[in-house]
Chains A and B, each alone.
Chain A
Amino acid sequence: MAGPSPAPPSPPEELASRLLDALQRRIPGAHGVRNLARLSGGASQETFAFEAETDRGPLPLVLRRSPGGAPRQGGMGSTLSLEDEARVVARAAAAGVPVPSILFVLEPADGLGSGFVMRFLEGESLPRRILRDEALARLRQGLAAECGRILARIHATDVRGIAGLESVPPELAVERCRKLLRAFDVPRPVVELALVWLEDHLPSPVPQTLVHGDFRNGNLLVGPEGVRAVLDWELAHVGDPAEDLGWLCANVWRFGERDRRVGGFGDLPDLLAAYEEAGGRPIPPERVHWFEVLAGVKWTLGCSTMAAAFAAGSDRNVERAAVGRRASENEIDLLHLLDPAPPGTAGGP
């Protein structure tokens, strides 16, 4: 056929071809990669869904990678490498936590950066659908308790020997927030007030456990029968187990269902009772409250971090810019938490 010579392969084609090479080294009978689609990602990390064509039919998979193999830059100090993330997920699976199974971890020879390939699971993870879909009504009734049981298993996971898992006790988390706030150099009186409160009410130390770090509505893949997988382990660390419960309860993850404290779908007593029944160390509600305040501070700063990455030019898209304007949501939540009886209201002075 006459005509111009073919264009050099565009990045998606090159990615697909390297991915196929990587698959063929590990999966006998793999002969194609189809429907490669980017699901999400920022400058330092990408997630793709695709189908591997194999002799036994199509195999739906997910690639999670850092293209340059560079360490990820989570705003709140995510330092876990993708290799260690894969290790944590495997250990959590061994402890009975529902997770997507990891097929293999990338190696330098794959030319794909660092990361791993896991199975794609069908299910719903969109928070608003989880909160409103008729077909999930029964799931919602038991979801707070199910989260309690899953969290108990996460917190019982043996993570000895995973060197990259950092220990972040509550006082260190607060200190990091202070540093981050100072680094932004934008005055935030509400956050200052919350930090003072957190410092003055530090929880007493308890034995540390694995903490998922982002356990919330949005990182749960569900079906009508229950939770199929806990996703996104990149913020996993070792710390106070109540941190995961406080994060799950933060209003920003209730997606409008303010009165259902647990993820917008359930109530705290159900979460705590199931957690304890499944072997979790009892957690008093005021400890959850402390971590809910910490969550508000962290997410305020998380929003600012993403907006700062946009402003600095490292991650230029309108979503990143817009998220800077969601910091104020967390500030109003912090005020609700810190000042339950505002001046001039029935309950206030």
Chain B
Amino acid sequence: MQDPPRIPELIEAVREFLERDALPELRGRTRFLARVSVNVLGLVLRELELAPAAEAAERERLAELLGRPVPDLDEGNRELCRRIREREIGLADEALRAHLWQTTLAKLAVDQPRYSGCLAARERLHGGRGGAA
């Protein structure tokens, strides 16, 4: 077992350093890339926090859709893709649509929680804030 600080705390420390100390010293393209780096570390922190529950929920919905257990999320998604591609399941299927909205919102809660399409979707699906965030 590793000693503290824990991984999220270490990442947060680096993020703070970049944002507070390094960024003001930088110019031009380097400054831009440092800004991107700050955002990437924020994304990593969100993924560490949210991914376990999001993947468990995705697995459960996939199992329901496929009618069998989904031990491997990647494999389950491949099977879903095959069924969509071969038109065995499609837009007419309400459970599929619900699954894709929820899965995509969960991805965005990590990747880009303030994206306009994400905010609009949350509003439509949950009648306001909250939801996947």
Chain A residues lying within 8 Å of B108, measured Cβ to Cβ, are: 328-329, 332
Q: B-facing mask of A296-340, CB < 8 A → 1, else 0? A: 000000000000000000000111011001101101110110110
Contact indicator B84/A318 (Cβ below 8 Å): no
**Chain B positions within 8 Å of A342 at CB level:** 97-98, 101, 121, 124-125
Question: Binding site of A, secondary structure by majority: helix, strand, loop or mixed?
Answer: helix
Interface assignment of B10: CB less than 8 Å from any CB of chain A: no
Which B residues between 27 and 53 are near A, CB-CB below 8 angstroms?
Answer: 28-29, 32-33, 36-37, 39-40, 43
Q: Is the CB of B104 within 8 A of A193?
A: no
CB proximity to A under 8 Å, residues B87-129:
87, 90-91, 94-98, 100-101, 103-105, 107-108, 110-112, 115-118, 120-121, 124-125
Q: A258 to B117, Cβ gap below 8 A?
A: yes
| B74: contacting residue among A187, A331, A344, CB under 8 A | A187
Partner of B117, one of A196, A319, A322, A332: A332
Q: How far is the CB of B57 from chain A (nearest CB, A)?
A: 15
Complexed CA–CA distance, A123 and B48 (Å)? 42
In the complex, the answer to whether B40 meets A193 with C-beta atoms within 8 Å is no
Q: How far is the CA of A321 from the CA of B97 in the complex (A)?
A: 29
State the CA gap A256–B115 with chains docked (Å).
Answer: 7
| Cβ–Cβ < 8 Å partners of A345 in chain B | 124-125
Looking at chain B's contact residues, is the secondary structure mostly helix, strand, loop, or mixed? helix
Does A329 lie within 8 Å of B125, measured CB to CB? no
B residues less than 8 Å from A254 (CB atoms): 116
Q: Is the CB of A190 within 8 A of B104?
A: yes
Most-contacted residue by chain A among B32, B39, B101, B110 (CB, 10 A): B101
Give the CA-CA distance A97 to B124 in the complex, in Å. Answer: 40
Pair count A-B, CB < 8 A: 106
Chain A residues contacting B97 (CB-CB under 8 Å) are 335, 339, 342-343
Instruction: Flag if B120 contacts A336 (CB, 8 Å).
Output: yes
Interface size on A, residues (CB 8 A): 37
C-alpha gap A346/B91 in the complex (Å): 18
Instruction: Check: B81 CB closer than 8 A to any chain A CB.
Output: yes
Q: Residue A318 contacts which of B40, B77, B112, B120 (CB distance < 8 angstroms)?
A: B40
A338 to B84, CA, bound (A): 14
B94 A343 Cβ-Cβ under 8 A: yes
| Residue B80, interface by CB 8 Å | yes
A189 touches B39 (CB 8 A): no
Q: Mark A184-197, 1 if CB is under 8 A from B, else 0.
A: 00011110110111
8 A-B residue pairs with CB within 8 Å: A37-B28, A325-B43, A325-B112, A326-B112, A328-B104, A332-B104, A332-B121, A335-B101
Q: Which residues of B contact A (CB under 8 A)?
A: 28-29, 32-33, 36-37, 39-40, 43, 74, 77-78, 80-81, 84-85, 87, 90-91, 94-98, 100-101, 103-105, 107-108, 110-112, 115-118, 120-121, 124-125
Given contacts A196-B87, A251-B117, A329-B111, list 19 more A-B pairs with CB under 8 A. A38-B29, A187-B74, A187-B81, A188-B81, A189-B100, A251-B116, A258-B120, A318-B36, A322-B39, A325-B43, A325-B112, A329-B108, A329-B117, A331-B104, A336-B117, A342-B98, A342-B101, A343-B94, A345-B124
